Amino acid sequence: MDINNKARIHWACRRGMRELDISIMPFFEHEYDTLSDNDKQAFVRLLTCDDPDLFNWLMNHGSPEDPELARMVALIQSRNMARGPVAL
């Protein structure tokens, strides 16, 4: 997926699992444009992972073996925490 195709990436962020939507969508909406191209590529790669894996990683029940994806998960968690709770 092209890192500049924001409409397609936005669609890929919609997971259908509330816990994932609460973590991934706000990060995309508030942080994606500020990421480096390498971080954008890592984020897009993260979106190709299975929902159960994403859920476990974002809820601190393990982490990806890939260090780049693990760093992206940590970045999502830290940026979301800094922004505060999300109301849906």
- Containing 21, the helix (H) or strand (E) segment is helix 18-31
Residues 32-86 have pLDDT tens digits of: 999 999 999 999 999 999 999 999 999 999 999 999 999 999 999 999 888 876 6
Overall average pLDDT of the 11-28 stretch: 92
Domain 6-83 in CATH 2.60.40.10: no
At residue 74, the pLDDT reads 97
pLDDT at 16: 86
- Three-state SS at 42: helix
pLDDT at residue 88 above 60?
Answer: no
pTM, rounded to two decimals: 0.90
The domains of the chain are located at 6-83
Exposure string for 34-47, b = 16+ CB within 10 A, e = fewer: ebeeebbebbbebb
